[in-house]
Amino acid sequence: MKHPVRMLVVCAAALIWLIPFAWMAVASLRPDVSGTEDLASLLPAGPFDFSNYREAWASGRFPLWYLNTTILCVGILIVQCVTVSLAGYAFARLRFRFRGTLFTLFLMQILLPPAVLVVPNLAMITRLGLYDTLPGVMAPYFASAFGVFLMRQTFLSLPRDFEDAAMIDGATRLQVIVHILLPLARPGLVAFAIVSVTSHWNEFLWPLMALNSPSHQVLTVGLASFTSAAESGGSWGVIAAGTALVAAPLLAAFVIFQRQFVASFVFTGLK
């Protein structure tokens, strides 16, 4: 409470951030909100029940979609952890020609809007025989420019003394990375994991392009398949309930691991 003004700003920001969630919660619990005067009401006015959730759950194959989305996010993350920490190490510690130029080129990937890459990526995964498979959806994300950047910065911020000591004792580079650097860089990896999982959990366009079989479908596309309504107007209650079902695992995870997450972001200076 040392800075009342700052506190006020933070509270206001939190409130603005909270509104969509509050609306989602209220709308999803009110049956038959379409066509009522107080459609956008934030104030909980009954009657409430779970009929929207029942309808949303029955409209789609949620267990399958949860499974596929989880496989997708975890699969991407596991490979990314290997690639970004090794590449981050290379850019942070190894000396080689054109290191600066290469790193700049690497970073430029962040500037490319993903929609531009849809066609070339699709052509590539088709050639690899991965069209309409989950590995096909994952493949373009196995390397991450953002992750490499983040890990490089994290490694650079660590003192070299431990590594030097280990090297003198005869440790190989891989041993140094796995046993010394990675444990120290854990907060950086956790921060990256959050960004990675949230973005792939929420991604719509690329899975829509790369997957066909209903049995490979993911949450976002599944949700759209029973809530999109361009020409008529939506059933808000069901849309809100479906959205809550999609967002719930991430929200729950965040609440459970909040302490670690906040610590990671403070450590890396990420916002």
Min dist. Cβ of residue 121 to another protein (A): 9
Q: Is 213 a binder of another protein (CB under 8 A)?
A: yes
| Binding track, positions 1-40, relative to another protein; x by CB under 8 A | ---------------------------------xxxx-x-
Min dist. Cβ of residue 60 to another protein (A): 9
Residues 250, 261: Cα–Cα separation, whole Å: 13
Q: Are 112 and 178 in contact (CB under 8 A)?
A: no
Pick the closer one to another protein by CB: 227 or 268. 227
Q: Is 172 a binder of another protein (CB under 8 A)?
A: no
Measure CA 138 to chain center: 13
Q: Is 205 a binder of another protein (CB under 8 A)?
A: yes
Which residues are CB-neighbours of 206 under 8 A, at least 6 positions away? 114, 118, 121, 137, 140
Count of CB atoms situated within 10 Å of the CB of 70? 15
Q: Count residues near another protein (CB under 8 A).
A: 35
Min dist. Cβ of residue 118 to another protein (A): 6
Helix (H) / strand (E) element for 145: namely helix 145-156
Q: Is 118 a binder of another protein (CB under 8 A)?
A: yes
| Binding track, positions 40-69, relative to another protein; x by CB under 8 A | -------------------x----------
Report DSSP state, residue 232.
Answer: S
Q: Is 208 a binder of another protein (CB under 8 A)?
A: yes
Q: Which long-range contacts (CB under 8 A, 24 or more apart) does 198-206 make?
A: 198/250, 200/72, 200/73, 200/76, 200/141, 201/69, 201/73, 201/249, 201/250, 205/114, 205/115, 205/118, 206/114, 206/118, 206/121, 206/137, 206/140
Q: Is 245 a binder of another protein (CB under 8 A)?
A: no
Q: Is 116 a binder of another protein (CB under 8 A)?
A: no
Residue numbers at the binding site for another protein (CB under 8 A) = 34-37, 39, 59, 118-119, 122-123, 125-126, 131-132, 205, 208-209, 212-214, 221, 224-236, 238
